[in-house]
Amino acid sequence: MAERFEPAEFKARVDTVLGEFLAAEAEQLRAIDQALEPVAEQPRAAAGHGKRLRAGFCEPLVRAAASMELVHAAAVMHDDLIDDGPLRHNLPTAHVALRTAVTGRPQARAAARCLAMLVGDHLMALAGQLFATSGPPTAYLARARPVWADLARELIAGECLEILSTGTDPDPQVSLKVVRYKTAKYTVEQPLLIGALLAGGTARLRAGLSAYGLPLGEAFQLRDDLLGLFGEPGRTGKASLDDIRGRRPTALLAATWRAARPAQRERLAGVLGRRDLTAARSRPRAFRRPAVSR
């Protein structure tokens, strides 16, 4: 009889693997030079939060599953840099937190951003290291290497598409492609495929997992976009309105733009990209949510 999957127990196991692995890596950096202390702590801080969603989809081997969380930590750190986001999990993002390490230096803000970029790159390299040393025979790992390569390439492609599309006229098709490659594939589909390959899953099974995982990953990001605009920052852990201030090509913005009347579109165009935008100024009468009767 198959063991019942216990999310809390699995999360604790992944947390333990990540904690021990990243603590050892931090010691390696400190051994090079104590000046690296602020950088040494960032990988563990970046990977210390989350529900372990991606790891859960690659559950057969805990160390391999944990490597998915390091991919996510790297992606989040780079994403926060690209978006210039100040908060994540109600804590300063890496490029903000690292400013204390370069206070008083020339171009301190740029230096902190460079440090965060390098830590993100390091996290991606550590993800590959943790996966390669996760325990299964080499032949088993070789089955999943092509999907790992796809994961890295497509994640970068999604981020690049978002940058190239930011500030352009909202396009639903472009926005959905960004959702698919920036989030949906590495969040659900590819961890499922990696888990299946490590467990010897058939091609038919993998096709079924893709058909299930890709739309689920897309739904995850679409919901995240909604929460990013309408959610309470205290609960989401991120600043609201950042997508509007940054004029990012979210599917929500593209759908709103397409559905808007000319006067509404003109008003929306007037707030997109405004760095001084506040919640009160972002919701003209035409866009405010209707009152809910009790």
Q: Where are the beta strands (DSSP E) in 27-171?
A: 87-88, 91-92
> Against a cut of 0.75, is the pTM above it?
yes
CB 27 within 8 A of CB 87: no
DSSP code, position 105 = S
Q: Which of 70, 120, 53 is nearest to 93 (CA)?
A: 120
DSSP assignment of 54-118: HHHTTTTSHHHHHHHHHHHHHHHHHHHHHHT--EETTEE-HHHHGGGGGTTSTTHHHHHHHHHHH
Q: Which of 70, 57, 62, 68 is nearest to 196 (CA)?
A: 57
Q: Which domains does the chain have, with CATH numbers?
A: 1-135 (1.10.600.10), 138-288 (1.10.600.10)
Look-up: residue for tokens 């920036």? 182
Q: How far is it, in rounded angstroms, from Cα 242 to Cα 276?
A: 11
**CA 115 from chain center: how many Å?**
18
Residue 78 has a CB neighbour count (10 Å cut-off) of 21
Residue-level pLDDT at 4: 66
Write out the chain's pLDDT in tens, 294 residues: 455 667 778 788 888 888 888 999 999 999 999 989 989 989 888 887 766 666 666 665 788 888 888 999 999 999 999 988 888 888 899 999 999 999 998 899 999 999 999 999 999 999 999 998 887 778 888 999 999 999 999 999 999 999 999 988 889 999 999 999 999 999 999 999 998 998 889 999 999 999 999 999 999 999 989 988 888 877 777 777 778 887 888 999 999 999 999 999 999 888 888 878 776 555 544 444 444 333
- Contacts of residue 71, defined as CB under 8 A and 6 or more positions apart, other chains included, come to 54, 123, 124, 127, 151, 152, 155, 186
